[in-house]
Amino acid sequence: MNHNANYPPSFLLLQQEGYLISSCLALGLTELRVANVHNKGAFYSSLLNISVGMERLMKAIIIMQYMLNNGLLAPTKNQLKNYGHNIIELYDECVKISISNKGELPNRRSLNNTNQKLLELLSDFAQTTRYHNLDALSTQQAGKDPLEHWGEIMLLILEQDVIPFSKIKDINMVK
């Protein structure tokens, strides 16, 4: 990587990470928008990109906070690795950072049920269920099928957020 003399390498590395995070989230949301029962691969691609993007975003926040508190020194690879792929724990850590900086990121318990379920889905997918199909082949199935999990969240959204007339139309489209 070429280092611009006007910026420290840490800035440029975080900038590059930002590009990756942005791309993962944008691709994930685009794939989710085109996913349907005839294009199930788009659901998997969406979950993969969104979970990776969210994990990397929250780790970048943790790194920047660490750097602010430690004379711009970055945490070690092992310190960062200790967070693993647990998006729920990363979110909770970002809430702590938000509080310490007088931010307004709501704690997990104050999120609505749908947002809590989405965090659970992304965290499960990042940690274990991204391999659900392969694990099921070897009878080492761990966790809920991510598409079933997504379907439960969609039904929750339909029940809570969609007006009754639209529900009938949307349910007929799913079948």
pLDDT in tens, 56-106: 999 999 999 999 999 999 999 999 999 999 999 999 999 999 999 999 999
Provide the token pair at 21. Answer: 């995070």
Contact 53, 32 (CB under 8 A): no
On the question of pLDDT at 144 being above 90, the answer is no
**Alpha-carbon span 40 to 49, nearest angstrom:** 15
DSSP 44-61: HHHHHHHHHHHHHHHHHH
- DSSP-assigned letter for residue 106: P
The length of the chain is: 175
pLDDT in tens, 120-132: 999 999 998 888 8
pLDDT band at 158 (very low <50, low <70, confident <90, very high): confident
- Amino acid type, 67: M
Provide the token pair at 171. Answer: 């349910």
Start-to-end Cα distance in the chain: 50
On the question of pLDDT at 175 being above 50, the answer is no
- Return the domain boundaries, the chain: 9-174
